[in-house]
Amino acid sequence: MTRPAPSETISPIETADATAAAAAGARSAPILTFRDGELFRDGVPHRVLSGSIHYFRVHPELWRDRLERLAALGLNTIDTYIAWNFHQRGVGPADFSGWRDVERFIALAGELGFDVIVRPGPYICAEWDNGGLPSWLTGVPGLRPRSSDERYMAAVEEWFDELIPRLAALQADRGGPIVAVQLENEFGSYGDDAGYLRRLRDGLVARSVTELLYTADGPTELMLDGGTLPGVLATATFGSRAREAAELLRSRRDGEPFLCAEYWNGWFDHWGEHHHVREPRGSVGVIDEILEVGGSVSIYMAHGGTNFGLWSGANHDGRVLQPTVTSYDSDAPVSEHGAITEKGRMLRQRLEAFTGVVAPEVPEERPVLTARRLPTAPGAALLPALRAAGGSEASVTVAPASFEQLGLDAGLVLYEAAPILPNGTSTLSMRGLHDRAQVWVDGRFIGVVDTSSAAAGVELIGHGERVRLEILVENQGRINYGPLLGQGKGILGAVQIDRRIVQGWRSRPIALADWSASELEAAAMAGAPGVAGEVVEPGAAGFRISTFEIEAVADTFLALPGFAKGFVWVNGFLLGRHWEIGPQITLYVPAPLLRPGANTVTVLELERAGDALELRDVPELGPEEEYIESFD
């Protein structure tokens, strides 16, 4: 899409140091400017009507479909975070190919007529694993993320060297769709290192970012004091009380336009909680309020998508870890599987009335497979499979190795030691467990502990002899928000039998997210029935495999009745986690993951397997509480 020539209007706010801007070859004004509290686009009064969508949560073959559905809502802008760890899982060059081709996603949005706002972080939160920061970085001992720590900033600079020139080339002043770039993300909710924010700003400008820069923070004095910079537009994130937010920002930043950078019209879910929903009329009513006070808005999320693989993050309430579910539907106007919801239809009507522009037609609903039951065949038993997958060459260390020491960002670690159990009853306890552990002694399952129960431990019965102690630790998602950001995974302290510390451990990393289709098949059949090894009992933990035939691909929703907890692959692609505690019941399977003819579903069940899987024709994201009025 050809973009209009840049406006001559000069913003009263300096977006960066003039010397740095000149050195970068920047022009004097971005396409979005403002004066006297009003926003302009190329010199014309303008409202940003944006919706959040994340390329990393949508299968790339569905990017166009989802963007077309957002266009049908009447939006004129889309915004996306950029997840650093999605592009650079290990030390070395970042990956911008295939699913990670963010330039193609942005260009596609431009082709469809959208302006684009990019949010490159480097921290993004987004309920995404580790808030988007790579675990190989946050695992460096003593490193302080989101600060002026020189080791952290050196890595950020290298990342920006790879990322920012790609974005700069897609800015409006070069004919591209990018009209604004966010500086960090809600930093005022975390810290007050203004020097860190200045270095990020200067780093963006030095790499030729010329469009509007802005910060986004909660609408409180505390958060705005910590997260804003003079000379950079300050915006707010909230779920209600738009007038109060507008008044606060205008009282602090005279002459700046009011922009809600995230309007939380829905919310995400944690495992073990209710599914969050928000009443459509009240949700759209807050957008009315934002527009009535002269503001612009970005709806978070307009389309949430899915935390495929092991990318879902976690929160911590000060007592327990709160891992996020696989779905990121977020009660958005465009649902996880692309349906325009009642909220979406109301939003479309409201924006058409506000702008006087008829939105594009709503695309037809996507086809869905007919519901069916899928019998499963047993694969490998859990322990033999994981022993084989973890390899037999693990070195012995005094203490259990953390995920970070093993170079593992997600998945499982199988720990093994050979302590002597005293005669009678003793207690096995752990300090520093992150996040969930299953315990076996001589192949006999003992129990499950998590971060909050590991110190109390489990009881063992010994006979004064050495035993084979095995502990399987699952990383349930890295914390994405708050002071515990960057916390390590695995057993970070000690394992004890009563007072005595267990020493001498083999630590086997099991990189589920890295398995190829052939590696998955090999793991699923290691010691399976018909192969030398252990026989899998009905209902036992381990692999289960199901195949089914289809004539044409379509979306579907996978349910796992009778299964307890584990991981699911479709045709070798790691779909995500499942857990019987809910609220999520079905996992969304987008059509591009399927193929005409034979398809395979593989389940790695950690606790208890059911008899069959189910393909359903409607999603079930779990029991809902009564409609929630706001998510502040």
The structural domains of the chain, ordered by start, are 18-304+316-355 (3.20.20.80), 372-380+514-616 (2.60.120.260), 399-503 (2.60.120.260)
CB atoms within 10 A of CB 143: 15
Residue 407 main-chain phi, psi, to 5 deg: 70, 30
Q: How confident is the model at residue 625 (pLDDT cuts 50, 70, 90)?
A: low
The yes-or-no verdict on residue 342 having pLDDT over 90 is yes
For residue 408, what are its two tokens? Answer: 């593992």
Residue 333: closest CA among 345, 325, 349, 323: 345
Say what the pLDDT of residue 627 is.
58
pLDDT value, residue 438: 98
By percentage, how much of the chain surpasses pLDDT 90?
A: 90
Cis peptide preceding 623, ω within 30 of 0: no
Residue 18: per-residue pLDDT: 38
Pairing of strands 597-605, 542-550: antiparallel
Q: Collapsing DSSP states into helix, strand and coil, what is residue 358? A: coil
Look up residue 226 and give its DSSP letter.
Answer: H
pLDDT at 28 over 70: no
Place of tokens 């997958």: 389
Q: What's the pLDDT at 27? A: 45
CB neighbours of 538 closer than 8 A, spacing ≥ 6?
378, 609, 611
Q: Tell me the residue type at 558.
A: L
pTM, two decimal places: 0.94
- How confident is the model at residue 10, as a pLDDT? 29
Choosing from 186, 336, 474, 605, the catalytic residue is 186
What is the pLDDT averaged over residues 621-627? 76
Q: Residue 539 — very low, low, confident or very high, per pLDDT cuts 50/70/90?
A: confident
Q: Judge residue 544's burial from the number of C-beta atoms within 10 Å of its C-beta, 0-12 exposed, 13-18 middle, 19 or more buried.
A: buried
Is 519 among the catalytic positions? no
pLDDT over 70 percentage in the chain: 92
Q: Give the mean pLDDT of 270-281.
A: 96
Q: Is it the case that residue 412 has pLDDT exceeding 50?
A: yes
The DSSP code for 554 is: -
The catalytic position among 262, 474, 521, 605 is 262
- Per-residue pLDDT band at 211 (split at 50, 70, 90): very high
Give the model's confidence band at 4: pLDDT under 50 very low, under 70 low, under 90 confident, else very high.
Answer: very low
pLDDT at 394: 76
Which segment of 299-308, 385-394, 447-456, 515-524 scores lowest on mean pLDDT?
A: 385-394
Confidence of residue 368 (pLDDT cuts 50, 70, 90): very high
Q: Where is average pLDDT lowest: 2-11, 124-133, 336-345, 518-527? A: 2-11
pLDDT category of residue 624 using cuts at 50, 70 and 90: confident
Whether 629 shows a pLDDT value over 70: the answer reads: no
Q: Is the pLDDT of residue 182 over 60?
A: yes
Q: For residues 120-127, give the mean pLDDT.
A: 98
pLDDT above 80 for 149: yes
Amino acid 431: pLDDT: 96
Greatest CA separation for the chain = 84
Residue 127 is among the residues annotated as catalytic for this protein: no
Which range is least confidently modeled, 22-31, 371-380, 611-620?
22-31
What is the rounded distance in angstroms from the CA atom of residue 435 to the CA atom of residue 451?
6
Is 132 in a helix, a strand, or coil?
Answer: helix
CA distance 432 to 628: 35
Least confident of 153-167, 387-401, 599-613: 387-401
